[in-house]
Structure 1
């Protein structure tokens, strides 16, 4: 893995923070490159050294969070569900401003669909097909149902200012997901 220059990382971090802070205040369509530059205390030229436009900045920020979640899959999914999910809910908590902004704003509708796609890809291996379980349910229907429920719970938790700690949410969601993915019978 290539090591990123600290100055570049610091600049990108300032720009990421700036765009999220601005999106929590106003519609993305109304945010200008100058607004982002002012918020990050950088020049417009510096932004254009790193990104094509504000859409590129937002897209790469979203992609970086999805990539971090995918990296967590590598090790968290090898644990039992409750412990693994606790790490995810701790990540959502740590990045509350990002997730609350992305899930609350109508300016970033692609975020929710990208998060849903990521969750569905992760769940595909958890469907229990032993002993004829779930044979009467199409895989894409089951994935859509379970992933939409999981993303919906994350969205509810964040929009309601995280009323329960990550470990409690992980325990609750683990039970629900286990039921829907492993015990789906009609």
Structure 2
């Protein structure tokens, strides 16, 4: 699942995602997290200095795993998007919990998509966006990013009502450049 991270980090990420289904983040304690992860408070503090530090780290653990997948095809073709969405789908409880409960998640997702697209190996991105959208690059890039973000968030908010393949195809079709 999350090869790069230790089982302990993963246990805490899974624990927070389960707890967020029942409790507001502010009401979750380190003891709650440790108990839910079947680990001790001491173990938690060996890895994190606070609940907030852990929470801020947790979203980036998820994004790092997505980055690892996307880096295997920096042109961001349909196959790699399907692989990424399959990963999200396999971990849907975690992702759903974070999308519903994580503060500023839309901003974080938008920024992540922007960085991923801008630094991708999509050939002639700037020119293709300007030609496809018939507006200046900055505006075209914004539309492109918001389209991707909207599809992903709608999929998660709709409790993963479509297959990963279908979501990848929605993105390819709606952002055709």
TM-score bin, normalised by smaller chain? 0.7 to 0.9
Query: Of the candidates 63, 82, 93, which is equivalent to residue 97 of structure 1?
Result: 93
Does structure 1 retain, via aligned residues, the 8 Å contact 2:126–2:137?
A: no
CA deviations on 1:118-163 (whole Å, 9 max, x unpaired) are 1112222543516x72696333322222212211111111121222
Report the equivalent of 2:32.
35
5+ long unaligned stretches in structure 1 = none
RMSD: 2.4
1:84 aligned residue:
80
Q: Which has the higher helix share?
A: 1
Displacement of 1:43 in angstroms is 2.0
Question: Which is greater in Rg?
Answer: 1
- Corresponding residue for 1:137? 135
Aligned to 1:110: 104
Question: Contact between 2:151 and 2:170, CA under 8 Å: does it hold in 1?
Answer: no
User: Which residue of 2 is the match for residue 50 of structure 1?
Assistant: 47
TM-score norm. by structure 2 comes to 0.84
| Greater displacement, 23-32 / 140-149 | 140-149
SS of the counterpart of 1:49?
helix
What is the match of residue 9 of structure 1?
6
Partner of residue 172 from structure 1, selected from 164, 170, 173: 170
Aligned residue for 2:57, secondary structure, equals helix
TM-score, scaled relative to structure 1: 0.80
Question: What does 1:112-131 correspond to in 2, within 5 Å?
Answer: 112-124=106-118, 126=122, 127-129=125-127
**CA shift for structure 1 position 71:** 1.8
Aligned residues: 170
Does the 8 Å contact 2:66/2:84 carry over to 1? yes
3-state DSSP class of the match of 1:144? helix
Partner residue of 1:23? Answer: 20
CA gap 1:177/1:57 in 2 versus in 1, 3 angstroms: same
